[in-house]
């Protein structure tokens, strides 16, 4: 794939990747690319379990160390997108990880997380203690 086509790959959010995994896709992250490797599972020389333990995870280190440059080049045909920034790994389904499909909305406590952190930072600001000032006077 040439450099121009690399840029044409969509930027996928963590939530979108989660939805793909929830729908049964075998997704790994390599060099900030999202790879859908379902078709490769039965051909992987190390067996399908090696891949299944990397679903939803950044497999860059494992791929770099355990695969030849030719094998890494072959993997690039499975790219379906890219991720921005540092990837936060999921717990793979084979290890008990659970995933929400795209139709499922985020739980309320996740939505409130960003709101509550904003509130907490305001509440943590220093305030004068009137009780202390009154005890000094008395």
- On average, the pLDDT of the chain sits at 82
d(CA 4, CA 77): 15
CATH number at residue 48: 3.10.120.10
> Does residue 92 register a pLDDT over 60?
yes
- The token pair at 96 is 């008990």
> Which residue, among 77, 75, 37, has the nearest Cα to 55 in the 3D structure?
37
d(CA 67, CA 55): 17
Share of the chain above pLDDT 70, in %: 71
Of residues 43 and 124, more confidence is placed in 43
Domain that includes residue 78, residue range: 3-118
Q: How many domains does the chain have?
A: 1
132 in any annotated domain: no
Stretch 14-28: mean pLDDT, rounded?
98
- Which H or E element spans position 66? helix 60-66
pTM passes above 0.85 = no
Q: What is the pLDDT of residues 30-69, one digit of tens each?
A: 999 999 999 999 999 999 999 999 999 999 999 999 999 9
């Amino acid at each position: 794939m040439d450099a121009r086509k690399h840029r044409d790959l969509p930027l996928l959010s963590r939530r979108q990747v989660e939805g793909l995994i929830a729908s049964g896709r075998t997704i790994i992250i390599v060099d900030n690319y999202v790879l859908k490797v379902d078709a490769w599972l039965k051909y992987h020389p190390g067996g399908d379990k090696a891949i299944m333990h990397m679903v939803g995870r950044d497999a860059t280190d494992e791929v770099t160390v355990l695969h030849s440059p030719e094998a890494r080049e072959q993997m690039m045909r499975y790219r379906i997108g890219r991720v921005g920034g540092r990837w936060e790994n999921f717990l793979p389904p084979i290890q008990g990880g659970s995933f929400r499909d795209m139709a499922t909305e985020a739980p309320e406590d996740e939505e409130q997380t960003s709101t509550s952190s904003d509130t907490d930072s305001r509440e943590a600001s220093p305030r004068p203690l009137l009780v202390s000032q009154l005890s000094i006077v008395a």
